Structure 1
């Protein structure tokens, strides 16, 4: 019996299941978020050190404001919170792709942030968050003119809305 025959036999017996049939489990390990936040802080410090002179963009980029009104956030339903976080990561991802062309000196740092944003998008998918309507902004936006401010926004986004959403979603999933 060849490999394909063995695979077929295991599938038939129910011992081996195709990965696509296994539902994605939410990511609720706080150490993952803590690691992202710690790494974002390290990148933020490194960018501050590198930007002692000027790290301005020729054109500003738009990102979601990361300020959190805690009573309003707690009053929001989980799907709205998730949509707001999704939109925040989408705007940051778009901003990063623009900045990478304008600031190649920071390419390595920006690619790390971009990787974290892909991970956040996957975490959101595992919590069943979908993209909000493209034309509907769910929160106020900011125009950012420097690499420092962009990285600061990313770091604040992780510590604030992303961390609040994931911890809140995990608490409600465990009930």
Structure 2
């Protein structure tokens, strides 16, 4: 006889297996990118409100220099552009992890850091969906900054999403 319910479960898993093994689809809906930018703006304004006085970080964190020279960016090959975006999200993710170890000092910013972390996870999935290969973590050619305040951290995060991430995705979707 069989175990009741096992057959439907196995059938369902058989239907789901191909879906679970596929790579993410490329994200080319501009509304999604606009939503990320809105979330970034909201989080950044919340940080400004929370940091009316000083919002020094418990320790400095290293992040990507988000300055973008559009002419230079467009001359870069896609692999190099993807590397820049991977490196930026990796450094921001590390910064969040580093700051989360300081539970009490970072308590007022837990929600904003969680939103940032969630967005960076989505960026990783978007990059994979566009076939961007993960960059080596020892890429020393990428300029970095040492950030010492929450305002600066969120400013860099905002610039990163609005700049390199948005440019990369827009150009990837145009191809």
TM over 0.5: yes
Q: Deviations over 1:104-143 (max 9, x none)?
A: 2211111111010001111011111122112123421011
Q: 3-state DSSP class of the match of 1:18? A: helix
1:155 correspondence with 2:158: yes
**Structure 1 residue 80: Cα displacement:** 1.0
Query: Which residue does 2:113 correspond to in 1?
Result: 110
Change (3 A) 1:69 1:11: same
Q: Which runs of 4+ in 1 moved over 6 A?
A: 7-12
Q: Residue 103 of structure 1 aligns to a residue in which SS?
A: helix
* Separation in 2, partners of 1:168, 1:113: 23
- TM-score, structure 2 as length reference: 0.87
Hey, what does 1:90 align to over in structure 2? 90
- Contact kept, 8 Å, 1:84 with 1:138, in 2: the verdict is no
Change (3 A) 1:50 1:75: same
1:137 counterpart = 2:140: yes
TM-score by length of 1: 0.87
Distance 2:11 2:55 in 1: 60
CA contact (8 A) 1:63 1:141 kept: yes
SS of residue in 2 equivalent to 1:162: helix
From the superposition, tell whether residues 112 and 11 of structure 1 become closer, same or farther in structure 2 (CA, over 3 Å): closer
Match for residue 76 of structure 1? Answer: 76
Could you tell me which runs of 5 or more consecutive residues in structure 1 were left unpaired when the two chains were aligned.
none
Whole-angstrom distance in 2 between the partners of 1:16 and 1:97: 33
Structure 2: which 5+ residue stretches go unaligned? none
Aligned to 1:125: 128
> In structure 2, what is the Cα distance between the partners aligned to 1:11 and 1:111?
32
CA distance in 2, matches of 1:142, 1:28: 30
Shift of 1:58: 3.1
Secondary structure class of the residue paired with 2:62: strand
1:152 and 1:28 map into 2 onto residues whose CA distance is 25
1:167 aligns with 2:167: no
